[in-house]
Each structure stands twice: as C-alpha cells, then as structure tokens.
Amino acid sequence: MAQPPKPAAAKPAKAATAAKAKPAAAKGAARTTATAPDPYKPVTAAERGLLEAVRGDGVFDARKLKTTERVVRSAFLRALLLGKINGADVPETGLRTLGLVFEEILNLDYAARDGVPLPPLWLREAHFKTGASFDSANLNRLDLAGSRSDAAITLDRAQVLGNVWLDRLQLTGGLSLMAAQIGGS
C-alpha cells in the first residue's frame, strides 16, 4: 500500500520564507528613521539664510534664491522661533522674511516662549503649499501680506498682541480665526 505524502515538509518552507521577509522590512524601517533631518540644523539654503538673519538684523529675502532653495521645514522654523537652536535668538524686532516656501504644513500651534508671545513674524510673499496652522499660538504680530496658500490657514484661539496683516493674501483653502484675539487696530 502506498503511504500518503507528508504535509509537514511544506510548513518549514513557509516559515523560512516568512523569516527571510522580516529582516528586510526591519532594514527598510531603520533607513527611514536614520534619514530624518535634525530640525535644529539647517539643511536648505533658505534655512541657512534664516540663521544668518537672526544673528544679524532679523531680515531675510529668499526671493534671490531659486524656488527649490527657498524651502523651509516647519520643524526648523518652529525651533528657531522658540529659541531652541543654540546661538540663534530671534531679535526682539522680529523675523522679517520674503519669499519662503513651505512644502509641509507650517505648524506653529501652541507656540509661545514660556507664556511670552513670539517675536513679530513677517512671512511676506511666502508660499504655503499645504497650509499653515497658528492655533492657540501666542504671537506679537503676524504679517502674511502677499503670500499664497494652497490649503487652509488657521489661527483658531490664537492670541496676537498687535496686528495681523493679510492684504493680498491668496487663499485656496480658506481662513479660520475662530475665537482668535487680535489686539491691533
């Protein structure tokens, strides 16, 4: 009589295949984590320009750079404004910029320095490709004049001591100022 085939031989092959797949996935995950840029170090020409500006008079005109070099990461600008980058304190007169590009959402939610408003912030003629959020931020002044946003800009519950300038602001996704407190005229 013929004996039935042993199904046990198929199981070890499956287990071996699964074991081989796991290390490859782990290697890919490690690469992704290792390549994330440090938000405290500048990686673009515009970020290096911002560092030079805060060490000087606080003015940076990115319009002289190629569009691809104008990009600033949200985490870098946030760290700069919150005083988390050594040797780079934003002057009391504020940070005045022209022509920056933000490819990711600019997230300044809850931004304040130990309960004190951030220095005045001018982001004139900026391009917010995925919007900006200043929700519950504590700002001295905010100027977005001549800027363009391809998604919503929100200042919900934000506190602004002075003025908010929005003239010539081009919005695709809308503007929200729900419960915002603006002290300027």
Task: State the virtual CA torsion across 43, 45, 48, 53 in degrees, nearest 10.
Answer: -150
| DSSP result, 108-175 | -TT--BTTBPBPPEEEET-EETT-EE-TT-EES-EE-TT-EESS-EE-TT-EESS-EE-TT-EESS-E
**End-to-end CA, the chain:** 99
Higher-confidence residue of 28 and 146: namely: 146
Query: Tokens 């959020």 appear where?
Result: 133
Instruction: Specify the pLDDT at position 39.
Output: 82
Q: Can you tell me the distance from the alpha carbon of 107 to that of 134, in angstroms, rounded to the nearest whole number?
A: 7
pLDDT classification of 40: cutoffs 50, 70, 90? confident
Predicted confidence (pLDDT) at residue 184 exceeds the cutoff of 60: yes
pLDDT classification of 24: cutoffs 50, 70, 90? very low
Instruction: Specify the pLDDT at position 115.
Output: 81
Note whether 143 and 118 are within 8 A (CB): no
Lowest mean pLDDT among 26-35, 86-95, 162-171, 175-184: 26-35
